[in-house]
């Protein structure tokens, strides 16, 4: 039987959405939106097809370590718990095809100035972790406001604090595309993730 890993990952994003209802009493589309933004950023780094697939997997599952959180915590409170990085890293290590990467989830809240949970700086932080970090920060501040200037400033002013110059440059490229903003909306985000991960045709025979 042919097993479609991409479809499997999209299914996981729905599972995470339902867990969010349990914890947050709300669906935020967080993992789908982070995955879409991460894949858009990944385009700016000329990733191979296999790397794009791995980035899709990591970005959809980046907060999987937070599923054990207590009911009633906010999304940003959940993100501030160091434990969700540690538990997430252990969980994702068991996932096939991405086992050659280390510490992507563990370091997804590191800042380039060394002020993150594990005090990793600059290039000590894996590229995928840096991409997911920016996508995550952007998503948590995204509210669909047609005036995008506040959100863009919130991200841009983190240059050399949370994010590297090259990551901010990549961000400035993707936000020039009108389609990028449209795809972030709740009604389009699922199709956008599917389309953006179109090159990730990873499948295996089981």
Residues forming contacts to Fe ion in the complex (CB under 5 A) are 63, 79, 136
Smallest gap from Cβ 160 to Fe ion, in A, equals 21
Residue 130 Cβ vs Fe ion, minimum distance, rounded to whole Å: 14
* Smallest separation (angstroms) from Fe ion to the CB of 118: 13
Compare residues 10 and 35 and give the one whose CB is closer to Fe ion.
Answer: 35
Q: Please spell the DSSP secondary structure of 188-205, one letter per residue.
A: HHHHHHHHHTTT---EEE
In the bound state with Fe ion, the residue whose beta carbon lies nearer, of 79 and 110, is 79
* Shortest distance (Å) from residue 108 CB to Fe ion: 6
- Residues 99, 195: Cα–Cα separation, whole Å: 25
Shortest Å distance, C-beta 81 to Fe ion: 8
Tell me how crowded residue 176 is: count the other CB atoms within 10 A of its CB: 7
**Which 3 state secondary structure label does DSSP give 186?**
helix
State the burial class of residue 206 (Cβ atoms within 10 Å of its Cβ: 0-12, 13-18, 19+): exposed
Paired with 2 in beta bridges are 205
All residues at 6 or more sequence positions from 191 whose CB lies less than 8 Å from its CB, including other chains: 183
Least distance from Fe ion to the Cβ atom of residue 203, Å: 27
Number of helices and strands (H, E) in the chain? 10, 2
Q: Compare residues 95 and 199 and give the one whose CB is closer to Fe ion.
A: 95
**Buried/exposed code over 87-116 (b: 16+ C-beta within 10 A; e: otherwise):** bbbeebeebeebeebebbbbbbbbbbeeeb
Q: Closer CB to Fe ion, residue 49 or residue 68? A: 68
> Which of 20, 136 has the CB closer to Fe ion?
136
Please say which residue, 50 or 154, places its beta carbon nearer to Fe ion.
Answer: 154
């Amino acid at each position: 039987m042919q097993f479609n890993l991409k479809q499997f990952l999209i299914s996981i994003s729905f599972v995470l959405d339902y867990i969010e209802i349990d914890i947050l009493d709300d669906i935020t589309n967080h993992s789908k939106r982070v995955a879409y933004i991460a894949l858009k950023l990944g385009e700016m780094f000329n990733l191979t097809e296999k790397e794009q697939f791995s980035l899709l997997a990591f970005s959809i599952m980046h907060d999987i370590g937070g599923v054990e959180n207590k009911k009633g915590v906010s999304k940003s409170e959940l993100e501030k718990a160091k434990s969700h990085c540690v538990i997430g890293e252990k969980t994702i290590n068991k996932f096939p095809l991405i086992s050659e990467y280390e510490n992507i989830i563990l370091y997804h809240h590191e800042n380039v100035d060394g002020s993150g949970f594990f005090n990793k700086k600059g290039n000590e932080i894996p590229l995928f972790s840096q991409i997911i970090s920016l996508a995550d920060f952007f998503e948590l501040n995204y509210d669909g406001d047609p005036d995008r200037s506040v959100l863009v400033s919130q991200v841009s002013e983190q240059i050399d604090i949370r994010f590297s110059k090259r990551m901010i440059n990549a961000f400035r490229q993707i936000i020039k595309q009108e389609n990028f903003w449209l795809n972030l909306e709740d009604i389009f985000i699922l199709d956008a993730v599917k389309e953006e991960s179109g090159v990730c045709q990873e499948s295996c025979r089981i």
